[in-house]
Amino acid sequence: MKHILFFIVVWLSVGYLSTNAQSTSPAKQPTARPVGELDTYSPADVARLRKELADAWRQSEKYSLVIAEQMPAEHYFFRSTDSTMTFAEQWRHCMIYTCNQLSGRLDVENPYKGKKPPIQMPKEQILRELKTFYAHVQRSIETLPVPKLYEMTAFPDGSIPGWRLFYALENHIIHHRGQCIVYLRLKGIHPKGYFGW
């Protein structure tokens, strides 16, 4: 009896869902604009996108500088284990990696091209470099040609539009900044809270 009741409930549910799915006309369903078709993006769309990216990176800079500032200079070469990067290297890696990706994928000028910053940079240098680095990303967001914002670029597991690369790279910084927060705690420093977007 239980099996029969279960079958009836499932049968009625499937019938209900299929009837409702058929009753929704295609005209009412939202349509996403195809990425890459530049003529579908107005100057207002582009300006809004640039502002959103700039705002996100501005907040990233604020929080990165807070965390980098909290570590005392004498602990900048601290590493959690022998196989991990030092506190200073975490930041160096973020800056160089981001600039290499923007250059290689979006043809943005690379400020580190032909330069090799020292592996272990002191606190004052990291703080200066971070400010210069974030200013470079902001300029890139402001000046990147519109086709590059929407052009698809190869990425693990497929491809993404150029604008999304900025979010992927900020996500990479979040990953390493999180490790820096752990380093602070290992040194008995309570990290300042995240203040979000």
Q: What is the pLDDT of residues 53-100, one digit of tens each?
A: 999 999 999 999 999 999 999 999 999 999 999 999 999 999 999 999
Can you give the pTM of this predicted structure? 0.79
CA-CA distances (angstroms) from residue 12 to 9, 17, 129? Answer: 5, 9, 64
pLDDT exceeds cutoff 50 at 30:
no
With a pLDDT cut of 70, the percent of the chain lying above it is 79
Q: Identify the pLDDT of residue 196.
A: 61
pLDDT exceeds cutoff 50 at 104:
yes
pLDDT (average), residues 39-61: 92
User: Distance between CA atoms of 46 and 149, rounded to whole angstroms?
Assistant: 9
pLDDT band with cut points at 50, 70 and 90 for residue 193: confident
User: Distance between CA atoms of 176 and 179, rounded to whole angstroms?
Assistant: 5
Which option is the CATH number for 51-197: 1.10.3720.10, 1.20.120.450, 3.90.1150.10, 1.10.10.60?
A: 1.20.120.450
Q: Are the C-beta atoms of 127 and 88 separated by less than 8 Å? A: no
Q: Identify the pLDDT of residue 16.
A: 36
Nearest to 168 by CA among 183, 153, 190: 153
Q: Identify the pLDDT of residue 157.
A: 84
Q: Identify the pLDDT of residue 40.
A: 73
pLDDT exceeds cutoff 90 at 127:
yes
Q: Identify the pLDDT of residue 52.
A: 97
Residue 152 pairs in a beta bridge with 161
Q: Identify the pLDDT of residue 74.
A: 98
pLDDT exceeds cutoff 90 at 35:
no
Q: Are the C-beta atoms of 177 and 72 separated by less than 8 Å? A: no
CA-CA distances (angstroms) from residue 55 to 134, 147, 181? Answer: 12, 21, 22
